[in-house]
């Protein structure tokens, strides 16, 4: 394993640790709305999801497994940026973590060695990212 891959995997492990120790594991369910309305997200969260949407708005069936791994690392990096600068609190913050957990589940599949699972995970990731405005504004 290359040293850079070791660093990336260590970083990902650290991120997962932060997500799961910061809050109780919420499972893979969609966030609840705020009395039928989207939650107000902080600026770093909005910017992070805009960045993800810009990078991951379409699928390319010709991508290699290495490209999926690279994309998984990019998503993880953006999620880390969101988490490290998040100023949200209360129930909206908890619901954001539910949403991020959905993303992280797909990222795990993209990091694997099964190209078909990685392709499907990217499609799922694109769908989850596109639904962000339904839950947060």
Q: Where are the domains of the chain?
A: 3-24+36-132
User: 40 — phi, psi (to 5°)?
Assistant: -85, 120
Give the mean pLDDT of the chain: 84
Intra-chain end-to-end CA distance of the chain, in Å: 41
Rounded average pLDDT over 70-82: 96
Query: Which comes out higher in pLDDT, residue 62 or 3?
Result: 62
The predicted structure's pLDDT at residue 17:
43
pTM of the model: 0.76
3-state secondary structure of 40: coil
Distance CA 74, CA 6 (A): 15
Give the model's confidence band at 29: pLDDT under 50 very low, under 70 low, under 90 confident, else very high: confident
Rounded average pLDDT over 63-88: 95
Calculate ∠ Cα 76-16-99, nearest 5°: 70
pLDDT of 58 above 50:
yes
The predicted structure's pLDDT at residue 13:
46
Rounded percentage of the chain residues whose pLDDT exceeds 70 = 80
- Is residue 87 within 8 A of residue 42, CB to CB? The reply is yes
Least confident piece of the model among 4-13, 65-74, 126-135 = 4-13
93-137, pLDDT tens digit by residue?
999 999 999 999 999 999 999 999 999 999 999 999 999 999 999
């Amino acid at each position: 394993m290359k040293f850079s891959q070791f660093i990336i995997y260590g970083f990902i492990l650290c991120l997962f640790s932060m997500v799961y120790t910061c809050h109780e594991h919420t499972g893979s369910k969609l966030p609840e709305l705020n009395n039928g309305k989207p939650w107000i997200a902080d600026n770093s969260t909005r910017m992070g999801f805009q960045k993800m949407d810009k990078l991951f708005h379409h699928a390319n069936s010709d991508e290699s497994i290495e490209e999926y791994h690279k994309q998984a690392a990019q998503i993880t990096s953006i999620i880390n940026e969101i988490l490290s600068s998040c100023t949200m609190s209360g129930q909206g913050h908890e619901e954001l973590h539910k949403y991020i957990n959905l993303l992280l589940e797909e990222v795990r599949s993209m990091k694997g060695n099964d190209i078909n699972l990685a392709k499907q995970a990217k499609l799922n990731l694109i769908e989850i990212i596109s639904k962000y405005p339904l839950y947060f504004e």
